[in-house]
Structure 1
Amino acid sequence: MAGSSAPPSSSAANYDLPWVEKYRPSKVSDIVGNQDALSRLQVIARDGNMPNLILAGPPGTGKTTSILALAHELLGSNYKEGVIELNASDDRGIDVVRNKIKMFAQKKVTLPPGRHKIIILDEADSMTGGAQQALRRTMEIFSNSTRFALACNTSAKIIEPIQSRCAIVRFSKLSDQEILGRLMRVVEAEKVAYVPEGLEAIIFTADGDMRQALNNLQATYSGFQFVNQENVFKVCDQPHPLHVKSMVQNVLEGNFDEACSRLKNLYDLGYSATDIITTLFRVIKNYDMPEYLKLEFIRETGFAHMRISDGVGSLLQLSGLLAKLSIVRDTSKAA
């Protein structure tokens, strides 16, 4: 789900829905962010002639929500008969293309003039090469009656013959303000008790992902009935950015031993090296320091993150990063 603002349904059936589904918009115009991409989809919704689509971008930015909303607008009451949605990460083999997808493409469905059946494939970049080749052939054969919408994190993993048959719509992470706007609507509708710092923490943990933001908001409220910083970071189980910020501050002030001590405290709390370095990167990115120093800090953090991603996730690796940041700080001071 991404960027939802639709009013909650009053029906009992919707009462216990996760907020990420309860507030999923049913119109393209209700979706938050990525206005260039959404304006293209709105034109398709208005004119009706949908091309094959590839929607590419990070999780929680509105890809699946957009295509579902577009399908609803195009097919209206024929949605159930005219749309099939598959998650390619579960159904990614060639047999699924030959059976489920081909059978649906062959099915006769009465639709309004100028409309087509729609096959939605989520996480399409996880499909095997053979399945993608079979899908390409199916797209060719049934082009008169069926359109395909492929949602993926990166379009580069989709084979060229499919890419050339599709219009590619790119999505990017949502801004803090876009996420905050939607959080405020949900908070008001659900009568959530909160402080502004709590919503800031939700936005920090979401990192541009609306789905993550709404899930974190609901989890925090369900667990504590109150959304503040402490509760958010407990629920999300991420290192508190203030602890990481104090670590960076100690490096900048030349207190290397204290910085290492704070790092060890975080590590001993059970946070993984990936958790710590991901939060460290985001803290450095927003830290008030000279730009040349920030660039070097980000550079060293990036290299350390790469090594940790390769499997060298240890306290020693993180301590080595603090040492390198200290050297960068000393070198820049000497210069």
Structure 2
Amino acid sequence: MANLENYKGYSEAFIHPELPLPLPRLQAEQQADLAPVTGTTNNLANYINYSLVLSQSRGFPYFVASNIDGGLFKKVSRTDNWRKDSRIDYAHQWGEELYKARKSDFDKGHMTKREDVQWGQTTLEARAAADTTFYFTNAVPQRAELNQQIWADLENYILHTESVPNNLRIAVFTGPVLRPSDPVFVTKVLGREVQLPTLFWKVVIFTKDNQQLNRVGFLMGQEKLLRKAKIVKSEAVEATAFATERFMEFEDAETYQVNIATIEELTKLTLPPAQDVYLDSRPIKLVLEEVDINARVATPKAFTELGYRISNLVV
């Protein structure tokens, strides 16, 4: 396995050399909160076929950026070799101490999916790439109902229904929404309170003609699942200007698939420009009550009806 310092990470020119795709842009306060990464000037942690930036205060990524080459996808065995990244101060990373704490009834939710970067010219390369997704920097606590069902269905659709069969090169940006109002885990970890993200976003960027980049965005949540399992404290963190109460007031919401502007408003990130395939001409009609999965089980019927089949990704 290559040394961490030799990993190349996300490539902006991956989809097409004449259609560069930069990383999401953080606001100044987020930039100031990045966990330092040894050997870098931008605190970008590169792995194989993906990169991420980590929030120093929260211990979770602001975003991860991955390149997916459907034509070079390889099937390899899963390792589950979770470890911390030695380039980043361990005080800024959550490891087994979080996922084995009392009441930690949640999965290590991959932000970059293992299989997404599981590609290369050889099986050995694909296996090495998949193995690098098992750094704790790439994990965020997710309830199994989200991580193993609806979120997994979306990820599998992107990879196995679109990218691999069509030999597509695509870029995927993913992350938790890190809000000051996120609920607090009931168990202190290493003497610290841990705020658990309740919303997760994903943006897929692709081209159908090698002339125009297109993008689609998705949002899913787990707050009700966390509260139902009594994993988080009942009292909420005091809301700030970044709170999202106003999203609760809207009606006629689209579920899961959302405008990119909605993701940008929630995350404070500026996502790379591209043609928006999905557009809702109404004011933001996102109801977090609908995005948040309340122990719903994903079924083929639900997969079709709930709004995240990416028909526009077909070239």
The structure with more strand, counted as a fraction of residues: 2
**What is the TM-score with the length of structure 2 in the denominator?**
0.25
Greater RCO between the two (CA within 8 Å, min separation 6)? Answer: 2
**What is the TM-score with the length of structure 1 in the denominator?**
0.24
